[in-house]
Amino acid sequence: MGNISKFSRSCELSANFDAVLLPLFDAQAAVRGPTAQRPAASDAINNIGRLGLNIYSPAEQVPSYENVLCREIARRENDYGAHQSVSSFWFSGHPLKQLSPEAITELCFRFSNHFSRGTAPKAVRGICATTSELDKPTLALLAGLQFNCIELTLDASIAGNDRSLDKLKALAEQTADYSQIKLKFRIRIGDHTHPDFLSRLLVQVTNTSSQQVELVCSGTSTRPRQEGLNSTRELLRRTLRFFKSHDWCSCGNNYFFSKEHVLSALREQRKLMFTPWGYQSWDTQTLLGLGVNAVSMIDGEYQRNCANPHTYNRCISENTAIPITRYKVGHQDTDLYKNLQNLLCYHLAPKPEQDTNWAFARLINKGWLTNQGTNLSLSEEGLVNLNPLCKSLYSRKTNNSYNAALMPDH
């Protein structure tokens, strides 16, 4: 996810974190010293919440990146509990472009010395990749390192109806040899995506070992603005109906997962939260991001490392303070934030107090929300227009967070 100003058209449709929740956060420049100033958590606290670990790799090459990552984790020991169970361990961004197979192997083994990785079947070890980066040796390596999820980015933003799916089919056959590896698809669509191609792609995706799909609307177009938006809305509507007919669950308007996926049970139990990394269990106490532009969640706030690879490398290598940005929901927006979390995670929200009822009444009149007992429920039109729906609830708010997205682009 990049700067919001660069992806304004995408942000009008895709309900991603930067577009629908980040504007409620106040951003503040800060520094993180070479020694963590936050007191180490007690063992009692450490054993309660689970830990998510995310190693972010930028596309730009960073010298000796794996060594710098190991130095960063050593200086952040107070940001996590030594006994916290690791529920997820992800290599995100461009790991197979940034890191060699040997470096990934080294990081997996070295990080195991710092964390007691969860042994439950639902613990995730994942990596982001493209179809061109995955071959038989790479798949064998990932399986040997106990990876059990691969997030594949598929660019369908410019795709005619006759575009072939042969490469995807071949990759699906290769991954079928490793039963522990599940696929997660991140599909980029745009107003030049042929609707029939998208339908064929979704059928192929659901015929693989995939249990999760994320749809990302492209922000680039050569069409007139309104024409492009209408075209992409139809793609969203078609996708929502496709997954509903296949009995998949959905969060927001662009995250879909099968009944077998762990998120399905968490959604049923009302234990989800929307984060910059997607939808997570709310018992994840700490989300630790390492690397250039990586994002962490610590003590209820988000912290983003500096985006400049040279500054990051120098600060870590020289053991000096690193520039970060801190994000925290403003006190006046806490209730609105909770309501939006409910709409995104469950497509439901409690009916608001009288003083804010006017905003929701307007959305009911548009047909985007419907009354459902003590709750308001999202209609199909509300889902398709979820991004502008959320923005309408804080349309009078101005926030510096609009000027810089929280998460880097994949």
Dist. CA 376–CA 372, nearest whole Å: 6
Q: How far is CA 223 from CA 9, 14, 172, 220, 230, in A?
A: 12, 18, 34, 9, 11
Residue 223 within a domain: yes
Pick from 93, 17, 86, 91: nearest CA to 52: 86
Dist. CA 112–CA 99, nearest whole Å: 18
DSSP secondary structure of 354-372: GGGHHHHHHHHHTTSEEEE
**For position 254, which CATH number holds?**
3.20.20
Residue 3 within a domain: no
The Cα angle at residue 133 between residues 131 and 136, in degrees rounded to 5: 90
Pick from 225, 173, 215: nearest CA to 8: 225
**For position 365, which CATH number holds?**
1.10.10
Residue 147 within a domain: yes
Residues 236 and 370 in one domain: no
Residues 321 and 377 in one domain: no
- The one-letter code for the residue type at 305 is N
Residue 92 within a domain: yes
Dist. CA 170–CA 107, nearest whole Å: 29
Q: What share of the chain is helix, strand, coil (3-state, %, to 5)?
A: 40, 25, 35
The torsion angles phi and psi of 396, rounded to 5 degrees, stand at -90, -5
Residues 371 and 247 in one domain: no
Q: At what angle do helices 357-365 and 386-393 cross, to 10 degrees?
A: 150
Domain hosting 77: range is 25-329
Half-sphere exposure for 17 (CA within 13 Å, toward CB):
21
How does DSSP classify residue 12?
T
Q: Please give the pLDDT value at position 11.
A: 46
Asked which of 282, 306, 329 is the last residue of a domain, the reply is 329
How does DSSP classify residue 4?
G
Asked which of 286, 305, 329 is the last residue of a domain, the reply is 329
Residue 300 within a domain: yes
How many folded domains does the chain comprise? 2
Report the relative pairing of strands 375-378 and 348-350 from DSSP bridges: antiparallel
Residues 304 and 320 in one domain: yes
Report the relative pairing of strands 278-281 and 272-275 from DSSP bridges: antiparallel
pTM for the whole structure: 0.88
- The one-letter code for the residue type at 104 is I
The tokens describing 47, both together, are 């054993």
Strand, coil or helix: 303: strand
Dist. CA 388–CA 15, nearest whole Å: 9
Residues 286 and 380 in one domain: no
Residue 407 within a domain: no
Region for 183 from its dihedrals, namely left if φ exceeds 0, alpha if ψ lies in -120 to 50, beta otherwise: beta
Dist. CA 147–CA 403, nearest whole Å: 36
Residues 183 and 267 in one domain: yes
Q: Please give the pLDDT value at position 410.
A: 63
Pick from 260, 154, 142, 147: nearest CA to 210: 260
Asked which of 329, 348, 374 is the last residue of a domain, the reply is 329
Dist. CA 290–CA 50, nearest whole Å: 17
Residues 69 and 108 in one domain: yes
Residues 324 and 335 in one domain: no
Largest Cα–Cα separation, the chain: 61
Residues 95 and 151 in one domain: yes
Do the beta carbons of residue 351 and residue 376 sit within 8 Å?
yes
Residue 12 within a domain: no
Give the number of residues written for the chain: 410
Residues 42 and 79 in one domain: yes
Residues 198 and 340 in one domain: no
The tokens describing 373, both together, are 């007992």
Dist. CA 178–CA 185, nearest whole Å: 17
Residue 185 within a domain: yes
Residues 33 and 86 in one domain: yes
Task: Show the low-confidence residues of the chain (pLDDT under 70).
Answer: 1-12, 36-49, 81-83, 116-121, 219-222, 224, 353-357, 395-410
